[in-house]
A = this chain, B = another copy of it.
């Protein structure tokens, strides 16, 4: 860009955001400079505070401002159940559904030998430690239904083989409100195999 090193630098920095290329970064920079300087200043401050202040919860590995996060500190959530998810957004989706009342463990990823990501990198030892220390009766493996997610779930299940912990996996099936015609074959097969009596 010919006209301003400060604008150039801002455009370049905005490209660290996921899904933001050169054109989008330019549009964002111009928007902030033209109409959003207050928002721009506020964003700068939030970024600084969050980058410096957000850590990982010592118990569940989720993002937290404090050593132990709000969910882990909430005595009502300590019902002996841990739900294992891959990411904070998965946790958020479950929280927003509003039904689950147990605790979490956030892997921040999944096993991926190709990328050199092993059990230690996603905190499996911490999870095992927590299952030893706390009175856990059920471990819900809510990793994604992808090859890596399934492999990660199986690895965790294997590690707990012979232990007195119920290990469950979320049900696959037709999305509520979904139309059969738009559901893929694998999901449909799962839905058939998991069919239940109407009275259920």
Chain A positions within 8 Å of B, measured between CB atoms, are: 1-7, 9-10, 12-14, 16-19, 24, 26-34, 36-37, 39-51, 53-54, 57, 62-65, 69-71, 87-89, 91-92, 95, 108
* Nearest-CB residue, chain B, relative to A42: B13
Q: A2 and B95 in contact (CB under 8 A), knowing A19-B24, A43-B47, A47-B40?
A: yes
Q: Which of B42, B43, B48, B63 contacts A3 (CB 8 A)?
A: B63
CB of A42 to closest CB in B, whole Å: 5
Secondary structure of the A side of the interface?
Answer: helix
Residue of B nearest to A109 (CB): B34
Contacts of A16 in B (CB 8 A): 32, 36, 39-40, 42-43
Do A49 and B9 have beta carbons less than 8 Å apart?
Answer: yes
Chain B's closest residue to A7 (CB) is B63
| CA gap between A195 and B126 in the complex, in Å | 74
> Are A50 and B40 CB-contacts (below 8 A) given A3-B69, A33-B63?
yes
What are 5 of the A-B contact pairs (CB < 8 Å)?
Answer: A3-B88, A6-B49, A10-B49, A12-B46, A30-B88
- A6 CB to nearest B CB, Å: 5
